Amino acid sequence: MKIGFVGLGIMGRPMAHNLMKGGHTLYLYSIPSIPQDLIGDKGIACKSSKEVATNAEIIITMVPDTPHVETALFGKDGVAEGLSKGKIVVDMSSIAPLETKKFAEKINKLGCEYIDAPVSGGEVGAKNAALTIMCGGNQPAFDKVKPLFELMGKNITLVGGNGDGQTCKVANQIIVALTIEAVGEALLFASKAGADPAKVRQALMGGFASSKILEVHGERMIKRTFDPGFRIELHQKDLNLALSGARALQISLPNTATCQELFNACAANGGSAWDHSAMVRALEMLAKHEIK
């Protein structure tokens, strides 16, 4: 297929690379620049999102936040200006569910389909084509795009209609944040009590407390490797979506709010670009103790 890909950052770059490995030709656009290693026989550089959409059958966007998606789709020289009837727009960013529904309506009016397909798995999952992909859209469009998803991920689910994929991603980010916080508290407690946190983690990995976050982020906390990964500022954005959604739904998410405050404390100490596992640093500051 001729595929368009807009947004070639930490996540988009390896995702695009895996599509090329699958034999597809990609039309590429990214700000500030297109990674040079993607340009070649299978990667064609474009000067705008409009040019991407003009040439491609399926257009994927992978950008940081809701306003970036809106600009990529509907701004000057955006995707919408290059669409023709029958094309499919797939947004794999993590953005607001309500705005996603509005974007889908505008794309549908142009005679095209829209799928929201946010991902989980971070940079490692993107590089290993092991992402979890949560989709919102209609079945025929999903079926057409699914072979592409299978080149980028392993757990691929059509959750429901437009916006439901983004709702699922927000739920995912709630669980991830709370689990990071729980692992951080546990390892901090163990370290302060005088136990070897690495041995504690090893023991816990064989029990009911085992999780991917204990495995990957627990190791980060012990080894102090906080290069992203997934930046705190992006997880803050996702939890903002959760908390604003909770207000609209008139429900309380007290522990989500606590995790956001811990991320805020990290950001206040220069940690916006730290990996989200570095939430533990806020707990360490409160305890005046570093895991070691």
DSSP secondary structure string for all residues of 224-242: T--S-SSBHHHHHHHHHHH
**What is the rounded end-to-end Cα distance, in angstroms, of the chain?**
50
The H-assigned helical ranges of 56-195 are 66-74, 79-82, 97-108, 122-127, 139-152, 164-192
Rounded to an integer, what is the distance from CA 41 to the centroid of its chain? 28
Tokens representing 232 are: 């705190």
The residue annotated as part of the active site, out of 85, 127, 169, 237, is 169
Single-letter amino acid code for the residue at 3: I
How far, in Å, CA of 248 to CA of 126, rounded?
32
Q: What are the b/e assignments for 97-114, b being 16+ CB within 10 Å? A: bebbbebbeebeeeebbb
Tokens representing 53 are: 């959409």
- 169 labelled catalytic: yes
Tally: H helices and E strands in the chain: 13, 9
Catalytic residues: 169
